[in-house]
Structure 1
Amino acid sequence: MRKKLGQLLIEFKIITSEQLAEAMADQRRTGERLGSILIKKGYVTEEDLEYLLSRQLAVPAINLSKYQVPRELVELVSERFMKKNYVVPVERDEKTLTVAMANPQDYRVIDELRFMTGLRVAPVVSSMYGIKQKLRELFPKSEKWEDALDLKAQRELEIITPQEFQRAVEENLEDALESASEAPIVKIVNSVLLAALDKKATHVHIVPEESAVQVKLRVNSHLETLVTPPKEYAQNIVNRLKILSGMDILQRRLPQEGYFRVRSEDQFYDVDVATFPVRNGEQVVLTFQQPFSKEELRLENLGMTPEMLETYRRVIAAERGLVLVVGPPDSGKTSTIYASLNALKSPHRVTFTYENPIKNRLADINQAEPNERAGLTFAQGLKSLVKQDLDYLMVGEVPTTEVLSTVVEAALGRTLVFARMVFNNTLGVVPHVLEQGVAPFMLYSALAAVLGQRLVRRLCPECLESFDPPEPVKEELRRATGRENPHLYRAVGCRACGGTGYRGRIGVFELLVPDDEMRQLILGGASAQELAEAARANGFRTLIEDGLTKAVDGMTTYEEVRSIK
């Protein structure tokens, strides 16, 4: 006699009898399948359920979340049939069609599939939850773009613009702003912002096309389409964002940059806005500088290894010096410097940040930004700021040789300076600074460290899956980590991570702390290659080596690390 699913779950000690009773009570009330209820409650995983269904029904099991179903297979069976009977075709050879079914013993459905396709049908079992998820993926619900943005059910969103921008809007552009301030446009923009916050997007792309506007979100480093409004909304959406960020809405031929701040559910988010003229109008990219709680803005939460963190703490404990934090845009440089300042700030020390614009407000830290409209340039403001008897200074960018010289001079005094630079090569930044006109003897004395970093997607801890890598990869991991039998982890996908297999991002780092030998090389104007050889001899670990250690520890995947550039 075949055992019931609930009995098997208890027998294998996957759930308790109390959890089974609770799920069965829900089943009697809702009529939903027991397995789906258990998955939604988090008592079992899809893999658990599929394994037990396979044991119960004596047929192979399949996890649909790991399968990309070819479009030609989907076209063999009608959408209506698949949704009605909860079946998904997954593979086909010359004579056989393999089909995932919630009930692989439903011979009526198997006969209909055989008649419909002209192929022999090989059923495999999958959870109802997994089948429904795959059907939603294969046949996304068609809805009006207004419904996709849920314009009728908006929660509160406050948008805060820089005061001088708001005054300019009120005084000078009243007539031109009318169409961009109409209620429908305001609702559309607010809904896009709320959707980005809900999905924890890092960027919003607004791309005008010939007949529509593509609005896309970058979530966990991947772009996904949010909504596609009609083309007639394009310019007013752009104008609305220009108003909020203090741009000239009449200037459409040149790129512009600005920013504004939003508050939703008592959290603040700074939003950088950049426009660029393209064939069909203006493209806009919003970059969300998401706020950090005090707990998140801690050095130990960034992802450094214990050994690197200890070394970095020793570096920033110095009374003076220059710490260069380098990497491409959106690599977490600002967060690292903020975390460093939070670790150092004290009522007995003067701490300042100088950025354009200020990315996040920090408690107990002075913050300033240039004001080009008032005539205060970045370079002028920095020159004045370094005379304010500072202990710690963050410089948000180093756009010119003049600014770089000011930064180095401040680091030679009694200030520990953190400077953020967009530069991809950690070791190559030293020759680059020298090429900008900084005297080698000044950099020799000022440079405390160079920290290079990137961000990779962090595996969801709820559903990651361990596996044994191929021998060539395993040998690479042994060399990078020193571990005899390293394993890797892959993304699977679950409810906790929205089916992506990833939750958030984590830093990957390389830290260069010059010793006496390297300082002599700097003094002599050494090349990046010479610096690299000296660094390796001194135990320097590369981004890839640090990333592979995180991959072996289950923090990210091998593929994520190997995508680092």
Structure 2
Amino acid sequence: MSKPKNMLIGEMLLEEGIISKEQLKDGLEEQKRTGEKIGQILINMGYITKEILWTFLGYQMGVPFVNVEELPDIPENVLRLLPEQLMRNEKLIPVNKQGRVITVAMSDPLNFLVVDDLKATTRAEIDARLAPAEDIKQLLDKYFGFKEEETGAIAKAKVDELDDILAAPMSGGSGGAEGQGGLKIQRSVYGEQMQPPPQSHYQQQPQAQPQMQQPQPQMAPQQSQAPPPISEPVSNTAQAVVSQDTPVNTFLTNLLSDAYEASVTDIHVEPLSDKCRIRRRIDGVLYEVESPPRTLYNGLLNKVKELAQMNLNEKNVPQESKLKIRVAGKEINLAVHTFPTVFGEKIILKIIRSDSEVLSLSELGMEEDTIDAYKKFIRKPHGLVLLSGPTNSGKDTTLYSTLNEINDPAINVFSVDDTSSNYVIEGINQTKVNRRNFGQVVRLLTEQDCDVVTIGDVPNRETADAAFDIIAGGHLVIGKMRANDPFSALQTVVNFGIEPYIV
């Protein structure tokens, strides 16, 4: 199966020859009439089996399907690895354990929060497999006994009743006098302590290890060689443990590794109505790349927010953070931004490169004569060099290539830039502040014995005044400004109120 995983189930079944065009047409017409899911409709019509549907659903999600109905009996020691209430709440069940790897059948194997909880609970690696929720419930009822699901109101009433009992004073002392203290209990996360399953079942059944045999589509999907997985963040920015065997982690590892090698500056992860669109910015231009299944989006969003220590529950307010992680043997600094949209939160990952990735001036694509003239300007002892251009025109790249060019122990260079700056250069005194404070910070540099000051933006009169004060002191200022051309940039400076004769 070599088609994109973001194809619809009906299209995948048709592409692989499982159903015909006429059968798909019949199913779609029935779907318009009933509103039922196309997969269940095709099963009801007898065109496919339940096993075929879930095998393809697993491929679409990037998670193997396991048919729990055909598994041998699950050993008691495997079932006791997790609390029963947890398994019922999250619709999952452990089915096998080999060494430090536990195979868990889950109705939602892309829920990385649950997977990470399982890892923390069992202190083992989790091999998440896809299985229908109703099949998991039947298996739980088989081993733990049938339990009728309680409504939220009934469950709350029982908890309230228990709390009333536990809060009542206890009798104590030899004389039977009423005690003053209340009974304190410690509840587990899922409301109950783990209990072993009924013993009678195991006295009658052998404890055979289940074999993970599953049907395959006609053509097995080819798996490309993935780079080493993401490790834990290497700074104190985040402390979350990233699973090394989940679909979300595999996709995120490939996404960042490929982007890093392709000199991508920004990665856009955008939820749409029918897919999760991925776009990468290279040399100022956005290019769309192959998108993951829409079902992977929530797990990807939560994983990124967890690593960046963002608020997972806040979905209606933009958030931003910094993150340092190791991918494919490289430490990558990321600026992470989220923004609410109609279909969910958009993620922007800005790759912040160190000095080893800063291009030299000769690599910027300028003519040799232009480079020679520019080098003379940036070597002058005083004056103003203003880099102008629209957004994503290469101002940042040129500015930091310039810093790399003039980076010399013989001169004192200060760089003032926005907190979203994408570069860090060893040997340069870099200060990252909010753009609103540029003027105040630049003015303070008059006492820092600077030879060269670079400014990430000249957004207002205060910053322009401070820059010209530095120049008046006999120093060089290199700045950048959003403007379509140099003449517009100079006019903007004049519009700030700087006297034209000074400019």
**Which one has the bigger helix percentage?**
1
Structure with max Cα Rg: 2
TM-score, normalization by structure 2: 0.49
**Larger RCO (CA under 8 A, 6+ residues apart):** 2
